[in-house]
Structure formats: structure tokens, C-alpha cells
Amino acid sequence: MRPSPLLGAILAGGRSSRFGSDKALAAMPDGRTLIDHATAALTPHVDAWVICGREGGLSDRPAPGLGPLGGLNAALHHAAAGGFAGVLTTGCDMPVYPPALPPLLFGPEAAVLEGQPLLGWWPASLAPLLDAHLKEENSRSIRGWMERTGAREVAIPGLTLPNINRPGDLPRA
């Protein structure tokens, strides 16, 4: 069952080091940017959305440079303060959000798409736990956070999503 209200978060604070320039602003073959595609793909599944880790959006929490967890932490706190049940996440470089995915993710615990941990569901109640996790000495990886929360991984057999790491990946996406 779909939690309500539901916040969407586009995690966009990465350095784009393999891409060589700001990946979020890279144009797809249709002329729209990756971040525009990610936003459009997530929008049908949420009541409101935010962009994390970019100017004009939510600042990573508690500070920049924490990778996706900094953006997720900002989104979780924004969700908790705004009365949202939780956050549905995607990366700024993910131009597709499979329509079949959200119902598979929703539940009392966090859940992510197998092989694509930025496509996930995170209950807003996890905000204080993520604060604590980020204060501790750990790798600050999304995988470590998944382990800490007991996040489920769900699979959609036969699903292939675009993987955009370099400019040459755009035409194939």
C-alpha cells in the first residue's frame, strides 16, 4: 500500500568524476537534461519532490561531500518536518523510474531495487538513525546504510535500466 503523503528526492550532489562535467545537466538525445528526466520519471509516484545536493535544492546534511547519504539525510529530515511518511529516491542520472517498482518497495522497512540502491524507499522515521550513522566512523556508503537499516532488496526480473557514467552512454540511454 502506498504511504501518504510521499516525498520524492532526486539525489544530485555527486562530483560526476567519471562523466567529466556536471552529469545532472547533460542533455539526453531529446535535448532534456538527465535531471529533468529523473524528475519527470519520479513525479508520478510522489506527492511532492525535492532535489538534494545542488544549489537551489536541499543542502546535503550535515555537510556536502557525504555522497548520496548526505542528500538522503536532508530529504529524510525534510520529510519528517513536513509530515511525509517517507522518501522515494532516485539518482539524478536515472532517467527511468520503473512504474512497477514503488509498490514492491513500500513497507515498514527501507527497500531498494537490487543493483540500483539509489532507487529506494526510506521511511521518514529513519532520519535520527541516519544522523547517528553519519557521525560514526564508517564508509558512509549506501550499502553500509542499507545493512544498518536492514533494507530489503527487491528484484524485477528482466528489468534493464540505463547506466550513465560517461558522455558516450547518453545516446544509448
> For position 4, what pLDDT does the model report?
92
Q: Judge contact between 114 and 32, C-beta under 8 A.
A: no
What mean pLDDT comes out for the span 150-171? 85
Helices 68-82, 142-149: axis angle to 10 degrees equals: 50
pLDDT of residue 17: 62
Q: Rounded to an integer, what distance in angstroms lies between the CA atom of residue 129 and that of residue 133?
A: 6
Which tens digits make up the pLDDT trace of 49-62?
A: 999 988 889 999 99
Strand partners, 87: 7, 122
Q: What is the pLDDT of residue 172?
A: 72
Secondary structure class of 117 (helix, strand, coil): strand
Query: Average pLDDT of the chain?
Result: 90
- In the chain the domains, ranked by start, together with CATH numbers, are 6-167 (3.90.550.10)
pLDDT higher than 90, residue 170: no
Query: What is the β-pairing status of strands 111-113 and 6-11?
Result: unpaired
pLDDT band at 1 (very low <50, low <70, confident <90, very high): confident
pLDDT in tens, 51-93: 998 888 999 999 988 889 999 999 999 999 999 999 999 998 8
Residue 159 CB burial class (10 angstroms; 0-12, 13-18, ≥19): middle
Say yes or no to pLDDT of 25 above 80.
no
Q: What's the pLDDT score for residue 83?
A: 98
- Measured in whole angstroms, the distance separating CA 26 from the mean position of its chain's CA atoms is 18
Which has more pLDDT, 25 or 16?
25
Residue 118: pLDDT over 80: yes
Strands lying side by side in the sheet with 48-52: 48-52, 6-11, 86-91, 116-123, 111-113, 152-154
Residue 145 to residues 30, 131, 148, 153: CA-CA distances in angstroms? 35, 11, 5, 13
Average pLDDT over residues 99-124: 95
The three cell numbers locating residue 46:
510522489
**Cβ 91 vs Cβ 54: under 8 Å:** no
